[in-house]
C-alpha cells in the first residue's frame, strides 16, 4: 500500500513530479498539482534527513546507546574499576581505575598509578576535580584508547558516575528506529502563551528525583477542532522543549512519553509543532539514562500517530559491552 502525505499516495506524487521534470507536466497535471507534489516531496526529504541525523547521533561512540553504567555516589570515597576488588565495580575499563572522593561539596578523582587515562586529550597524572554535567565545562575521563569515558552527573543533591563505551552491546546491536509515516497534517501551528511572571515546572525523572525546570509558557494548538496545550521548558538558545504523553504512549509509542523540540516563537508568539519529529527520550534505549518524564499538564487526551514509535529492544544480557 502507498504511504500517504497530505492525503496523496506517495507513488502519485512521484509520478506527478517526474512528469513535470520531463516537460510533460503541463499536459498531464496542472501547475498547482505539480507545485503541491513538489512541496510534499520536499517535506518528505527534510523529514528523512532529520531521521538520518537522529539515528547518527544515537549511535555515535558517545551517543545514548553507548551507556554501560550509572553509579550513584553514596559514600565519601569509592575505589572504582572493573576488578572484583573495586568498591564500585564498573562494567568496563581498567581493573583499578582510581579513587573518587567527595569533599567540601566537590568531587575529586585520583587515578591509579600507571593507568592510561586522559582528560581533554592530555594524560591524567594526578588528582583532579570532576565537574558535573550541570557545569559549563564538564569533566570527561577517557580510557580504553578513547573507547570508554567516565563523567559526573548532578541530579538535585545527588551525584553519580556515568560510564560509556563504544563497544556497548546496546550500541553494537542497535536495531534502528521505527516511525509512523510522515504526514504534513501533523505539522500544526501553535501559539505561545507566556507565563507572566515566568514559572518553574517540577518534573520527576526515571530515577524518581524531582527536577525544577524553567517554564516560560505553554503552547496552544488545535487538532480536529479541539484545543490542546503543552507546557514548554526553556532552552538556553531560546528554543523550547516539550515532554509529552498521549494516547499512543504504551500503545505504539514509548510508554513513558516522548520529547519534541520547538523553534523559538516569533514576535507574534507563533511557532510550529511538527509531531513527525517527536522522539524517544534516552531512557527508551538504556537503563542507565535519567530522563525527565512528562508533567501531568502534558498528558494529552489525543492519539498522536506521528513521529518515533517505541524502540524494539534486542535482548542484551546484563547490558555488558
Tens of pLDDT along the chain (321 residues) come to: 334 334 444 443 443 334 333 444 334 445 555 555 888 899 999 999 999 999 999 999 999 999 999 999 999 999 999 999 999 999 999 999 999 999 999 999 999 999 999 999 999 999 999 999 999 999 999 999 999 999 999 998 999 999 999 999 999 999 999 999 999 999 999 999 999 998 999 999 998 889 899 999 999 999 999 999 999 999 989 999 999 999 999 999 999 999 999 999 999 999 999 999 999 999 999 999 999 999 999 999 999 999 999 998 765 554 444
End residue of a domain, out of 172, 201, 219: 172
Co-location of 204 and 105 in the same domain: no
Co-location of 186 and 145 in the same domain: no
What residue numbers bound the domain in which 192 lies? 175-319
What pLDDT does 26 receive?
39
Residue pointed to by grid coordinates 572484583: 84
Residue 4, helix vs strand vs coil: strand
Co-location of 270 and 303 in the same domain: yes
Co-location of 208 and 164 in the same domain: no
How many domains are there within the chain? 3
Co-location of 162 and 215 in the same domain: no
Quick check: is 53 in a domain?
A: no
Co-location of 159 and 185 in the same domain: no
Co-location of 297 and 251 in the same domain: yes
Quick check: is 58 in a domain?
A: no
Q: Residue 121 — φ and ψ, nearest 5°? A: 70, 10
- Give the CA diameter of the chain: 79
Co-location of 281 and 179 in the same domain: yes
Co-location of 165 and 286 in the same domain: no
Question: Taking the CB of residue 84, how many other CB atoms lie within 10 A of it?
Answer: 7
What pLDDT does 46 receive?
96
Quick check: is 56 in a domain?
A: no
Co-location of 140 and 208 in the same domain: no
Cα separation, 147 vs 158, whole angstroms = 27
Cα separation, 142 vs 320, whole angstroms = 18
Co-location of 94 and 116 in the same domain: yes
End residue of a domain, out of 142, 172, 202: 172
Quick check: is 226 in a domain?
A: yes
Quick check: is 55 in a domain?
A: no
Question: Taking the CB of residue 102, how many other CB atoms lie within 10 A of it?
Answer: 16
Quick check: is 59 in a domain?
A: no
Co-location of 168 and 125 in the same domain: yes
End residue of a domain, out of 172, 200, 218: 172
CB 205 within 8 A of CB 293: yes
Cα separation, 152 vs 156, whole angstroms = 13
Quick check: is 54 in a domain?
A: no
Whole-number Cα distances in Å, 285 to 160, 253, 264, 311, 319: 19, 13, 28, 7, 11
pTM for the model:
0.85
Helix (H) or strand (E) holding 15: helix 10-21
Amino acid at each position: 500500500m502507498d504511504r500517504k502525505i497530505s492525503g496523496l499516495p506517495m507513488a502519485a506524487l512521484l509520478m506527478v513530479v517526474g512528469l513535470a521534470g520531463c516537460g510533460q507536466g503541463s499536459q498531464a497535471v496542472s501547475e498547482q498539482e505539480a507545485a503541491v507534489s513538489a512541496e510534499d516531496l520536499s517535506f518528505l526529504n527534510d523529514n528523512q534527513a532529520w531521521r538520518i541525523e537522529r539515528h547518527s547521533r544515537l549511535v555515535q561512540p558517545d551517543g545514548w546507546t553507548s551507556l554501560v553504567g550509572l553509579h550513584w555516589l553514596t559514600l565519601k570515597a569509592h575505589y572504582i574499576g572493573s576488578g572484583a576488588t573495586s568498591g564500585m565495580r564498573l562494567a568496563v575499563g581498567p581493573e583499578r581505575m582510581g579513587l573518587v572522593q567527595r569533599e567540601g561539596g566537590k568531587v575529586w578523582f585520583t587515578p591509579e598509578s600507571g593507568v592510561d587515562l586522559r582528560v581533554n586529550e592530555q594524560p591524567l597524572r594526578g588528582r583532579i576535580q570532576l565537574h558535573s554535567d550541570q557545569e559549563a565545562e564538564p569533566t570527561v575521563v577517557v580510557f580504553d584508547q578513547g573507547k570508554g569515558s567516565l563523567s559526573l552527573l548532578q541530579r538535585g543533591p545527588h551525584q553519580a558516575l556515568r560510564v560509556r563505551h563504544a563497544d556497548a552491546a546496546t550500541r553494537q546491536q542497535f536495531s534502528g528506529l521505527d516511525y509512523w509515516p510522515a504526514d504534513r497534517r501533523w505539522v500544526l501551528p501553535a501559539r505561545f502563551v507566556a507565563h507572566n511572571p515566568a514559572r518553574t515546572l517540577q518534573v520527576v525523572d526515571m530515577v524518581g528525583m524531582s527536577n525544577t525546570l524553567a517554564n516560560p509558557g505553554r503552547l496552544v494548538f488545535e487538532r480536529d477542532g479541539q484545543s490542546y496545550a503543552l507546557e514548554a521548558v526553556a532552552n538556553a538558545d531560546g528554543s523550547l522543549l516539550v515532554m509529552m504523553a498521549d494516547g499512543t504512549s504504551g500503545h505504539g509509542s514509548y510508554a513513558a512519553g516522548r520529547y519534541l523540540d520547538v523553534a523559538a516563537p516569533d514576535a507574534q508568539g507563533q511557532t510550529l509543532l511538527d509531531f513527525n519529529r517527536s522522539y524517544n527520550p534516552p531512557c527508551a534505549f538504556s537503563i542507565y539514562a535519567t530522563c525527565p518524564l512528562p508533567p501531568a499538564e502534558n498528558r494529552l487526551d489525543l492519539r498522536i500517530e506521528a513521529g518515533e514509535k517505541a524502540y524494539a529492544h534486542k535482548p542484551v544480557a546484563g547490558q555488558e559491552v
